[in-house]
Amino acid sequence: MRLPALLVALLLGACDDYVIDSKPASPVDIDAVLALDGDVTSGEAVFQEHCRVCHDVAGNDKPGKPGPGLAPWVENATEAETIQVIVEGREPLMPKLLVDDEQQLADLLAWMAQAWSTPEG
């Protein structure tokens, strides 16, 4: 008589495990990105390929570009916040996960920081 109860408990336990295991893995590990050395040259190519269609390459607001100039953003936000935007996208126009490769994200951050840093900053 106790066996069914035990089985149910085991099954429930298994279900809990299943739920935990089936959580979608975070596509990007932000800490891992921040720990990588970014390659500026590769980062520029990533920006050209994935971002330039909407964001000015010089970091300014520009007519015809739906996305805002990113130089002020990069100056004020942390790198983790920038990755967060890329992972989550921005409604309604900016798709999420345009870049989901951790090395490419590190490269992109390195290039944006170099390209738009103010000399006096």
Provide the binding-site residues for ligand HEC, judged by CB under 6 A: 50-51, 53-55, 66-68, 70, 73, 82, 85-86, 90, 93-94, 98-99, 108
Write the single-letter amino acid at 9: A
State the DSSP code for 62: -
Closer to ligand HEC by CB, 55 or 102: give it: 55
Q: How far apart are CA 98 and CA 24, in angstroms?
A: 18
CB 25 → ligand HEC: shortest distance, Å? 21
Q: Measured from the CB atom, is 11 or 50 closer to ligand HEC?
A: 50
Nearest to residue 42, comparing CAs of 114, 106, 115, 86?
106
| CB of residue 65 to ligand HEC, shortest distance in Å | 8
Of residues 17 and 61, the one with the C-beta less far from ligand HEC: 61
Max intra-chain CA distance, the chain: 78
Task: Write down the least CB distance from residue 53 to ligand HEC, Å.
Answer: 5
User: Cα separations (Å) of 48 from 87, 93, 109?
Assistant: 18, 18, 13
What's the closest the beta carbon of residue 14 comes to ligand HEC, in angstroms?
40
